Amino acid sequence: MFGRLNSPEEVFSYDLGAALTMERDTLAMLGRLEEAAQRPEVKQLLREHAAETRVQIEVVEQCFALLGQEVDDSPCPVTKALAAEAETKLKKADDSLADAVVLAGALQTEHHEQAVYENLVLHARARGAEQVAVLLESSLAQERGAGERVKALAERIARTGVATTPEGGMSTGAKAGLAAGVAAAVGAAAAVASKVGGHEESTAAHGVRTGATATDLPSTTGATGTTTGATGTTTGTTGTTTGTTGTTAGAEELNDDALEERIAESEHRSTGS
């Protein structure tokens, strides 16, 4: 451990030692996050990156050897703070929401690690320590890859409502959101149908109820497309929505059964089973 840093080389070694602490902290954090994660795919991603992290620890140790120095560590308060933040949020959050907390913590950590390696690589290269630069660059590439995978999974989970259920399916909130979206689309179709009142079959009306007159649509009020369905009152898109939307939404008779079917299909897609 250095007292004062009196040369660029000492600053570099200090940062290299901090990277070693960073990776050791990250390895511990990944284990904790895996424990807290709910979805198997989240656990697997964290496990895979933990394996990469073990290699990254060895890489830093090799860099010290290449520089002819003893392996030394330096403090890394950032990773400790990130781990503490994730831990605090995990304690506060319901278990069903843990994956979003876990992935947020992982993403923040990956970005910090990338910055640490970017800095180390540029200084290693500048001082002519090419082998060290190449080794650290390989770790940087792994961190970028891990960050992308974490982000992609976080996005997928966010789009399906975040929360898990005890059965591992879509949460009630996600179902309500999806149902509201479908009901809104139904409202849009109905609104278009309402606007053409007097015509036997507009494009949208035909989609909603084959052969129905526009004014024959139940539970529909005027141009705002307000409709009541399985989820209660949902305000639909305004009546200016084009018939294309209405046609898409109304490709089948959108009664309660159809709504349930849509939800089931979405659940099937989100679980990938």
Interface residues with Fe ion (CB under 5 A) are 113, 143
Q: Closest separation between CB of residue 71 and Fe ion, Å? A: 19
- Closest to Fe ion by CB, 15 or 143: 143
Contacts 24+ apart (CB under 8 A), 76-80: 76/18, 76/19, 76/21, 76/22, 76/25, 78/22, 78/112, 79/21, 79/22, 79/25, 79/26, 79/29, 79/109, 79/112, 80/25
In order of 6, 48, 144, 263, the CA distances from 147 in angstroms are 34, 12, 5, 31
Q: For Fe ion, which is the closer residue by CB, 117 or 239? A: 117
CB of 86 to Fe ion, least distance (A): 14
Q: Which two tokens stand for residue 36?
A: 């807290």
Choice between 114 and 245, CB closer to Fe ion: 114
- Minimum Å distance from CB 81 to Fe ion? 16
- Smallest distance, Fe ion to C-beta of residue 61, A: 16
In the complex, minimum distance from the CB of residue 73 to Fe ion, in angstroms, rounded to a whole number: 17
For Fe ion, the closer CB: 51 or 84: 51
Any idea what the Cα angle at residue 134 is, between residues 130 and 50, rounded to 5°?
A: 145
Cβ proximity to Fe ion, 25 vs 113, nearer residue: 113
Nearer to Fe ion, 143 or 267 (CB): 143
Q: How far is the CB of 142 from Fe ion (least distance, A)?
A: 7
Cβ neighbours for 12, distance < 8 A, ≥ 6 positions apart: 120, 123, 124, 127
Q: Is 250 helix (H, G, I), strand (E, B) or coil?
A: coil
- Considering only the C-alpha atoms of the chain, give the largest distance between any 2 of them, rounded to a whole number of Å: 88
* Residue number, 25 or 99, with CB nearest to Fe ion: 25
Which residues have CB under 8 Å from 96's CB, separation 6+? 38, 163, 164, 165, 171
Q: In whole angstroms, how close is the CB of 157 to Fe ion at the nearest point? A: 19
Which residue type, as a one-letter code, is found at position 143?
Answer: E
